[in-house]
Amino acid sequence: MKHIISLLMENEAGALSRVAGLFSARGYNIESLTVAVTEDPTLSRMTIVTAGSDEVIEQIIKQLNKLIDVVKVLDLNDGKYIERELMLVKVKASANFKDEMKRMCDIFRGRIIDVADNSYTIELTGSCSKLDAFLEAIDKTAILETVRTGASGIGRGDRILKI
């Protein structure tokens, strides 16, 4: 099953490679990984999307906790959470695609943020599955390029990951 794991870690050189190294060394898969500094400049917040059986996820959490630079780990799937990802898609905007692209963009609440002679760049945020759905919905032959940030996750309401 897919899990979104949030963690706080020391904002130190090498911390990211320790997490990435752990996943590759133990054969865990990473669907996406995002990391950036928090309001406290000594801490980074990371969101990892991974998949595995309950036992594997339990081991992943334990192994992450074992890393010396990791301050706190939270499996967002243990409660209610919100997940958002940003995607930029460059699509063909030739006559036969123009209208479809504008329409799909509206339906998915995206925005066209760059218009060139033959292409549009669309910005879209949402859950990973919404972004997947968008790519499914448009004509595949129209896609020139996609770039996704990977998911960021946050607990709902009182679920706060802080030290």
Residue ranges that bind other proteins, judged by CB under 8 A: 9-10, 13-14, 17-18, 21, 25, 55, 58-59, 62-63, 65-66, 68-71, 163
Nearer to other proteins, 25 or 115 (CB): 25
Structure tokens that stand for 88 in this block? 């930029």
Token pair 């963690």 is found at: 7
Polymer length in residues for the chain: 163
In the complex, least distance from residue 53 CB atom to other proteins, rounded to whole angstroms = 12
CA angle 5, 9, 15 (to 5 degrees): 100
Nearer to other proteins, 73 or 131 (CB): 73
Token pair 């595995």 is found at: 52
In eight-state DSSP terms, residue 93 is: -
In the complex, least distance from residue 67 CB atom to other proteins, rounded to whole angstroms = 8
Separation CA 147–CA 22 (nearest Å): 25
Nearer to other proteins, 31 or 69 (CB): 69
Q: Among 87, 96, 143, which Cα is nearest to 120's? A: 143
In the complex, least distance from residue 14 CB atom to other proteins, rounded to whole angstroms = 6
In eight-state DSSP terms, residue 128 is: H
Nearer to other proteins, 18 or 92 (CB): 18
CA–chain centroid gap for 69, Å, is: 22
In the complex, least distance from residue 60 CB atom to other proteins, rounded to whole angstroms = 10
Nearer to other proteins, 58 or 139 (CB): 58
In the complex, least distance from residue 13 CB atom to other proteins, rounded to whole angstroms = 7
